[in-house]
């Protein structure tokens, strides 16, 4: 999993490039926390256009980050999910806490 990010106008853009499963979940969570906590922004956009695979482990990772950022008043949005990632997001109701933006 490769994670790229940039902070622009107080919006943090994060791009996940790779496969998000049990094997990569710990690293991804840790890396996202490092980026989120070292950046001052009120909004975070997670771009999933380069994510090659995700299973429900990814939901655990995303909800975990949501809980941590919620306490700091930061909103997280999802952008460019694959057809299958979207299927899992709709099944789990993730968009209710992390809305999808285009």
Partner 1 sequence: MISNNNILNKMELKFSALSINESFARASVSGFCLQLNPSLDELTDIKTAVSEAVTNSIVHAYPNESGEILINVTLCKNQATIEIIDFGVGIKNLEEAKKPFFTTKPDQERSGMGFTVMESFMDKVEVFNNKEGGLKVVLIKNIKEQSVKKVADEII
User: Does 59 sit near partner 1 (CB under 8 A)?
Assistant: yes
Task: Give the interface segment with partner 1, choosing from 4-12, 30-38, 58-66, 71-79 (CB under 8 A).
Answer: 58-66
4 is an interface residue for partner 1 by CB under 8 A:
no
DSSP E strands in 1-102: the ranges are 2-8, 11-20, 43-47, 51-54, 75-79, 100-101
- Contact between 21 and partner 1 by CB under 8 A: the answer reads yes
SS3 state of residue 93: coil
Phi and psi angles of residue 11, each rounded to the nearest 5 degrees, phi first: -115, 125
Q: Given candidates 49, 56, 72, 101, which one binds partner 1 under the rule CB under 8 A? A: 56
Closest to 88 in 3D by CA, of 65, 58, 67: 58
Q: Which residues contact partner 1 (rule: CB under 8 A)?
A: 19, 21-23, 25, 29, 53, 55-57, 59-61, 63-64, 83-84, 87-88, 91-92
């Amino acid at each position: 999993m490769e994670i790229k990010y940039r902070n622009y106008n107080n919006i943090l853009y994060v791009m996940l490039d790779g496969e998000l499963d049990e094997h990569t979940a710990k690293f991804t969570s840790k890396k996202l926390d490092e980026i989120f906590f070292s950046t001052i922004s009120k909004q975070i956009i997670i771009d999933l256009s380069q994510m090659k695979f995700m299973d429900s482990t990814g939901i655990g990772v995303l909800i975990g980050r949501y809980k941590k950022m919620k306490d700091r008043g930061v909103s997280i949005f999802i952008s460019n999910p694959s057809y299958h990632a979207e299927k899992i997001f709709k099944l789990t109701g993730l968009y209710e806490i992390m809305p999808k933006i285009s």
